[in-house]
Chains A and B, each alone.
Chain A
Amino acid sequence: MSVNWDLVWSSLGPLIGGAIKGTIPLTLASFVLGLILALIVALMRLSRNVILAAVGRFYVSVIRGTPLLVQLFVIFYGLPTIGIKLDPWPSAIIAFSLNVGGYAAEVIRAAILSVPKGQWEAAHTIGMSRGQALLRIILPQAARVSVPPLSNTFISLVKDTSLASLILVTELFRQAQQVAAFSQEFMALYLEAAAVYWVICLVLSSAQSQLEKRLDRYVAH
């Protein structure tokens, strides 16, 4: 097998372009929205209101119990049949946000529960309400505990966004598909795409371990 290095070299631009204009913004937008959703769902699941808690539990169960690709297709191809027609980008962002929301909700819930009960009590003894205690005392500590698992969610998301190519979002993998179809160099292009994903994830992993080192010491053990 001979590798067409010229093609590999010349397609690097479009692939990285796909990462910068597609994969990365899609990941960031979905992750941020997903985290906000996850925090809300985590608080619902921890709330004393049984209805809120049940709704939260149901949502998490559905998201975790169904394939991401199916969720994506339901939103992009399914919703139009009931009159809701969304473009590829909003569809992708909604699907990935909902997905991150389900997984990260469990991470955040576990992190909140991992903060020792004594922290709530200390917050109350200095006069804080439940809301104040949550915002100023509990969540900052839960955030630190959540960094490793949420980093994993984030890194998975980078790779999962390749599914968006199936609903025609022009991101890294779709760029690779297009060049491959045109040149018939499938092996070279898909390995090249794999390499770009890998580099992105390596950078993120090293950022993750830096962050963890810095945060670990402020956690109550």
Chain B
Amino acid sequence: MSPTDEAPVLKVRGLTKSFGSNAVLRGIDLDVPKGKVVALIGPSGSGKTTVLRCLNGLEMPDGGTVALGGNGTGELRLDFGGKVSRKEIFALRDRSAMVFQHYNLFPHMTVLQNVTEGPIKVQKRPRTQAVEEAERLLARVGLLEKKDAYPFELSGGQQQRVGIVRALALRPQLLLFDEPTSALDPELVGDVLGVIKELAEEGWTMVIVTHELGFARQMADEVIFMDDGVVVERGPASEVLRQPQQERTQQFLQRLLHDF
């Protein structure tokens, strides 16, 4: 592997965030090399969603730095210790895209409009080109024949696949998934995980918050266990999930296995 491949697309240092007196993130470091998949696990309330939201400019961190780079476009570096402008937040959003737990599709738009809204209205790409690309992406996840359907006509699994395509159509450098399958009926989980697996094989750079340990073991290059706003343990999936070193990690995994 060449050194440039290993250079991190995402580099986060000392990310902090409080809501009032509640310190939710207490200094998070995160490196995601290009084309790699990082799985974020941890108990509910540990701050996983907040990490993703900070990386997508949906939440303004109190401190720390976020650097996103690669693809020859130059590095975007935001220092939240100082003042961060609206323009910088928009640049961050432009480079990362989020797939939500509850899909959050636009209910008043067709599947195709959901996917092309960002490319056409925000990124100002030519309509025909954006539609072509959207149709190609929808075909890939097996939903081309649903392009004129409205979200309410789709199953949860189909909606989430549209959610993924909507994110891909923005051509982000970084894909963020927040428990993409936890709102789905069990029989629909496989389809969505299958799509994410294909994306990993294609070389998309991803951070995935998930409770699907089997999936994390298979997919993730690195697993990060968070608790109470800090990273407790990190390492290759096989190590963190099979032989966790920290007691808190062990307890969490035990409880998770127990619940299923």
Contact = CB atoms under 8 A, between A and B. Distances in A.
Interface of A: 116, 118-119, 121-129, 132, 136-137, 140-141, 144, 217-220
Interface residues of B, number: 25
Contact of B150 (A121, A125, A217): A217
Nearest to A116: B104
Contacts of A141: 107-108
A136 B117 contact: yes
Query: In this complex, which of A124, A137, A217, A219 has the most chain B Cβ atoms within 10 angstroms of its Cβ?
Result: A124
Interface in B108-140: 108, 117-118, 121-123
B104 A122 contact: yes
Q: Which 3 A-B residue pairings sit nearest by Cβ, starting from the closest? A: A126-B118, A122-B104, A127-B122
Given A127-B90, A127-B118, A132-B122, A121 B100 contact: yes
A142 to B, nearest CB: 10
Contacts of A124: 56-58, 93
A9 B117 CA distance: 57
A127 B106 contact: no
Contacts of A119: 104, 106
Interface in B53-73: 56-58
Contacts of B106: 119, 122-123, 137
Given A127-B93, A136-B117, A136-B121, A122 B150 contact: no
Nearest to A219: B107
Contacts of B56: 124-125
Nearest to A117: B104
Contacts of B167: 125
Nearest to B166: A126
A220 B107 contact: yes
A137 B118 CA distance: 11
Given A127-B118, A127-B170, A132-B122, A122 B108 contact: no
Given A118-B100, A125-B93, A126-B122, 11 more contacts: A118-B102, A121-B58, A122-B104, A126-B166, A127-B93, A128-B121, A132-B121, A136-B117, A140-B108, A218-B107, A218-B152
Interface in B29-75: 56-58
28 contacts: A116-B104, A118-B100, A118-B104, A119-B106, A121-B104, A122-B105, A124-B57, A125-B56, A125-B93, A125-B100, A126-B117, A126-B118, A126-B122, A126-B166, A127-B90, A127-B94, A127-B118, A127-B123, A128-B122, A132-B122, A136-B117, A137-B106, A144-B108, A217-B150, A217-B152, A218-B108, A218-B152, A219-B107
Contacts of B108: 140-141, 144, 218-219
Contacts of A118: 100, 102, 104
Given A136-B117, A217-B150, A125 B107 contact: no
A123 B150 CA distance: 17
Query: In this complex, which of B58, B94, B107 has the most chain A Cβ atoms within 10 angstroms of its Cβ?
Result: B107
Nearest to A118: B104
B97 interface: yes
Contacts of B118: 126-128
B58 A218 contact: no
B98 interface: yes
Contacts of A132: 121-122
A125 B121 contact: no
A200 B150 CA distance: 35
Nearest to B163: A122
A136 B94 CA distance: 18
Contacts of A144: 108
Nearest to A217: B152
A219 B109 CA distance: 10
